[in-house]
């Protein structure tokens, strides 16, 4: 039983990070209908900036965490301005391929820095002794990570529901033409959506970096595993990203906890999300919470 | 039919049948034959090293795969982020055959054209199976479903002992009428085989595109509901587009396995899938000529970047990561620049050049 609970706890930890990473995808898709494949690279960039500021410059971790969020905010905004702005109105495949191209470019730039080849780990910031809660234990880093994640998700949800800018972003995602006619600058909203996605990506990167250490391959993999999460939740639903993130985290933890080692299986955590994704998509083609598009001839 | 059968200025057609011709003038046909003759004869005249012959073989094999990808993504508009997995299915069909019946069995060494077709058929089966979600899914959801197939394929190959857990499975050398193809002739031999296959498939697809089945692909891309209303069957069309792509990919995979005399997982990863998509984009999506230009351009770029890195190494002794950094960097830049400035790909340049020559000395 305690093994089960432990898996649930670590599943929620992993899942909340997926949710935070997926949030960036959803923000961009919701407003501008772009699937950002380079998101994993932006997460990695955020993590590396946090590390560089903390260790090489010597700023305390909590400040560098925020500074890197600000930097990626502007990085993502300029990416939108330079590359994506020209492609408004192009077919989906062009937009996907441009983000794939961005992914390659960012890959290349990261390989030029020392982070491309070596592993780094953050200096210990929190106490090393784990917190024991009855049968399960959780490390301080994971605990703080989960708290930060949920705070951020809560803030983003609040922002979309209540603030004027958030409401105008929702208006753009609903109908671009109508929102233009009431005076919302659509390109401005696109830029802002990217910037906020960059901000959430840096936060996700900082948390992942603290929990798993900085390895480009690992951070890179986060960008790919987030696809099944956002598709499962429905591409344009924040709550869907959170629910699907936690479902995927739990599935992965259960798979590696119960399936691996039995019948000679191994690495099921990598493949099971995709199998379950395919099965769910057959029954709900727009994910769990995604809006159904009404198509007319 | 215009009065001059060799040169035609402008388009004058009096029947629909005339408009559907592959070669509009005798000159077109002649130039095509000259091009084919040059492609067949030049290796006999001009000798290139094995390294460059391998690059050429790779380009031709990629062309076979891209013709398939262009059918499903360019013409039918179904984004496939798992094309390398289909190529892998073809390669592993051959490799598993070689593993079970022995890699110097007569089926592998003598009946290799049959094995190419068998691999293509297995690829088509997988393609049709993976295409089934297309009945319900659309756009990005479908793209991610094909990505799932890629991930499941990679895991399956890495996991099962039948596939040697991703390690290379050897495939034997083949025989031609003159006996076993020796080490020295290996790359030249597969150049000719791949060239013949590219020509046959290219003509086949060119023909397909002017039939009912080819045009239904384009109709489904442009608006599948409208196509449905006009009496086509969009579901069947989508599945059959995937099956066709799977067939071409399967043949390309089997060629790849024969060329490298083995199949290993590293050639069929997600990165390779993305690279195939890039070739289709750079060549020009939805054009047949693009399927030939794209692979050539991307492979040449890779080669040039390799040379550049080799050259740079003389100046920067400590530059250890240079090759891993430069490849994705240039690759990404090329994709992004093409999409931003020439979204219709190299095929569009080809079209412009052709129009220029055709209308010379007049211009628009």
User: pLDDT class for A2, splitting at 50, 70, 90?
Assistant: confident
Cβ of A297 within 8 Å of Cβ of B141? The answer is no
- Share above pLDDT 70 across residues of chain A, in percent, rounded to a whole number: 94
Minimal Cα distance from B148: which residue of A? A274
Q: What is the pLDDT of residue B9?
A: 63
Q: Encode pLDDT of B252-290 as tens digits.
A: 999 998 888 888 888 888 888 888 988 888 888 888 888
Predicted ipTM > 0.95: no
User: pLDDT class for A242, splitting at 50, 70, 90?
Assistant: confident
Give the CB-side neighbour count of residue A35, counting CA atoms within 13 A: 24
C-alpha distances in Å from residue B171, one per residue of A266, B57, B95, B118: 28, 17, 6, 15
Position A217 in a domain:
yes
Q: What is the pLDDT of residue A213?
A: 76
Cβ of A277 within 8 Å of Cβ of B148? The answer is yes
Q: What is the pLDDT of residue B248?
A: 93
Q: What is the pLDDT of residue A66?
A: 83
Encode A209-234: b = buried (16+ Cβ within 10 Å), e = exposed: bbbbebbbebbbebbebbbbbbbbbb
Distance in angstroms (rounded) separating the CA atoms of residues B177 and B187: 17
Q: Encode pLDDT of B113-142 as tens digits.
A: 888 898 999 999 999 988 888 887 777 788
Position A281 in a domain:
no
Q: Residue B276: which of B252, B254, B240, B243 has the closest Cα?
A: B252
Q: What is the pLDDT of residue B247?
A: 93
Enclosing domain of residue A83: 19-224
What is the secondary structure of B113-130 as a DSSP string? Answer: HHHHHHHHHHHHHHHHHH
Minimal Cα distance from A226: which residue of B? B144
- Sort residue A234 into left (φ over 0), alpha (ψ -120 to 50) or beta: left
> Considering chain A, what is the average pLDDT of its residues?
82
Minimal Cα distance from A105: which residue of B? B329
Q: Which of A205-214, B99-108, B282-291 has the lowest mean pLDDT?
A: B99-108
Neighbours of B178 (CB within 10 A): 8
Mean pLDDT (whole number) for A275-292? 80
Q: What is the pLDDT of residue A113?
A: 77
Q: Which of B141, B326, B327 sits opposite A285 (nearest CB)?
A: B141
User: pLDDT class for A210, splitting at 50, 70, 90?
Assistant: confident
pTM: 0.87
Q: Encode pLDDT of B73-103 as tens digits.
A: 888 888 888 899 999 999 998 888 888 887 7
Cβ of A281 within 8 Å of Cβ of B328? The answer is no
Cβ of B140 within 8 Å of Cβ of A295? The answer is no
Q: What is the pLDDT of residue B59?
A: 92
Top residue of A84, A86, A108, A217 to mutate, by most chain B CBs within 10 Å, is: A108
> Which distant-in-sequence residues (6+ apart) come within 8 Å of A82 by Cβ?
none
Position A107 in a domain:
yes
Q: Which of A109-113, A204-208, B8-12, B168-172 has the lowest mean pLDDT?
A: B8-12
Q: Where are the beta strands (DSSP E) in A55-158?
A: 131-133, 136-138
Cβ of B277 within 8 Å of Cβ of A35? The answer is no
Position A130 in a domain:
yes
> Considering chain B, what is the average pLDDT of its residues?
84
Q: What is the pLDDT of residue A36?
A: 83
Taking only residues 254 to 283 of chain A, the set having a beta carbon closer than 8 angstroms to any beta carbon of chain B reads 265-267, 270-271, 274-275, 277-278, 281-282
User: pLDDT class for B65, splitting at 50, 70, 90?
Assistant: very high
Q: Encode pLDDT of A45-54 as tens digits.
A: 888 888 888 8
Cβ of B73 within 8 Å of Cβ of A93? The answer is yes
CB-count exposure of residue B364 (10 Å: 0-12, 13-18, 19+): exposed
Position A293 in a domain:
no
Mean pLDDT (whole number) for A200-223? 81
Q: Please indicate whether residue B314 or residue A67 has the higher confidence score (pLDDT).
A: A67
Domain count within chain A: 1
Q: Which residues of A touch B219 (CB under 8 A)?
A: none
What is the secondary structure of A238-295 as a DSSP string? Answer: HHHHHHHHHHHHHHHHHIIIIITTGGG---HHHHHHHHHHHHHHHH-TTTTTPPPPP-
Peptide bond into A297 cis (omega under 30): no
Per-residue pLDDT for B71 more than 80? yes
Query: Dihedral, CA atoms, B239, B243, B246, B248, nearest 10 degrees?
Result: -130
């Amino acid at each position: 039983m305690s093994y089960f609970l432990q898996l649930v706890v670590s599943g929620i930890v992993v899942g909340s990070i997926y949710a935070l990473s997926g949030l960036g995808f959803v923000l961009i898709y919701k407003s501008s209908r772009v699937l950002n494949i380079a998101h994993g690279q932006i997460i990695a960039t955020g993590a590396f900036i946090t590390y560089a500021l903390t260790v090489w410059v010597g700023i305390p971790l909590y400040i560098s965490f925020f500074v890197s969020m600000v930097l990626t905010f502007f990085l993502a905004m300029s990416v939108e301005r330079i590359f994506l702005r020209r492609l408004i109105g192009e077919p989906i495949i062009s937009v996907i391929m441009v983000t794939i191209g961005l992914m390659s470019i960012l890959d290349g730039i990261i390989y030029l820095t020392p982070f491309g080849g070596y592993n780094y780990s953050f200096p210990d910031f929190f106490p090393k002794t784990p917190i024991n809660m009855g049968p399960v234990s959780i490390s301080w880093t994971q605990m703080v990570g989960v708290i930060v994640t949920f705070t951020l998700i809560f803030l983003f949800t609040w922002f979309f529901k209540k603030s004027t800018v958030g409401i105008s972003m929702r208006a753009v995602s609903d109908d671009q033409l109508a929102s233009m006619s009431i005076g919302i600058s659509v390109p401005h909203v696109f830029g802002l959506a990217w910037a906020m996605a960059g901000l959430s990506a840096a936060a996700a990167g900082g948390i992942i970096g603290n929990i798993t250490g900085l390895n480009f391959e690992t951070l890179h993999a986060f960008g790919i595993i987030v696809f099944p999460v956002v598709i499962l939740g429905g591409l344009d639903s924040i709550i869907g990203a959170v629910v699907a993130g936690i479902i995927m985290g739990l599935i992965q933890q259960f798979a590696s906890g119960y399936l691996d080692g039995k019948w000679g299986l191994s690495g099921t955590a990598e493949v099971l999300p995709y199998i379950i994704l395919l099965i769910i998509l057959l029954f709900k083609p727009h994910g769990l919470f995604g809006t159904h598009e009404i198509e007319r001839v | 039919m215009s009065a001059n059968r060799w040169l035609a200025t402008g388009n004058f057609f009096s029947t629909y049948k005339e408009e559907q011709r592959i070669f509009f003038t005798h000159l077109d046909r002649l130039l095509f034959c000259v091009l084919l003759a040059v492609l067949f004869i030049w290796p006999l005249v001009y000798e290139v090293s094995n390294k460059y012959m391998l690059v050429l073989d790779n380009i031709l094999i990629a062309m076979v795969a891209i013709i398939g990808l262009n059918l499903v993504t360019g013409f039918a508009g179904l984004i496939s982020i798992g094309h390398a997995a289909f190529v892998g299915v073809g390669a592993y069909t051959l490799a598993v055959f070689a593993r079970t019946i022995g890699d110097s069995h007569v089926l592998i060494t003598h009946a290799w054209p049959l094995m190419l077709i068998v691999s293509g058929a297995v690829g088509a089966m997988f393609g049709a199976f993976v295409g089934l979600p297309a009945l319900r899914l659309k756009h990005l959801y479908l793209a991610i479903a094909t990505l799932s197939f890629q991930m499941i394929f990679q895991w399956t190959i890495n996991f099962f002992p039948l596939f040697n857990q991703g390690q290379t499975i050897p495939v034997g050398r083949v025989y031609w009428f003159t006996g076993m193809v020796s080490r020295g002739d290996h790359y030249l031999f597969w150049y000719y085989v791949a060239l013949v296959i590219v020509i046959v498939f290219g003509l086949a697809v060119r023909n397909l595109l002017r039939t009912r089945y080819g045009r239904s692909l384009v109709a489904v891309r442009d608006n599948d509901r409208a196509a449905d209303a006009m009496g086509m069957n969009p579901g069947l069309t989508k599945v059959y587009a995937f099956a066709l792509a799977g067939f071409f990919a399967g043949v390309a995979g089997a060629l790849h396995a024969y060329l490298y005399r083995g199949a290993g997982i590293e050639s069929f990863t997600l990165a390779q899938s993305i690279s195939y998509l890039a070739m289709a984009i750079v060549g020009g999506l939805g054009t047949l000529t693009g399927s030939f230009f794209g692979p050539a351009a991307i492979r040449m770029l890779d080669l040039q970047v390799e040379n550049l890195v080799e050259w740079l190494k003389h100046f920067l002794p400590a530059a250890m990561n240079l090759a891993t950094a430069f490849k994705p960097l240039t690759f990404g830049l090329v994709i992004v620049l093409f999409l931003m400035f020439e979204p219709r790909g190299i095929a569009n340049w080809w079209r412009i050049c052709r129009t220029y020559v055709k209308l010379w000395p007049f211009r628009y």
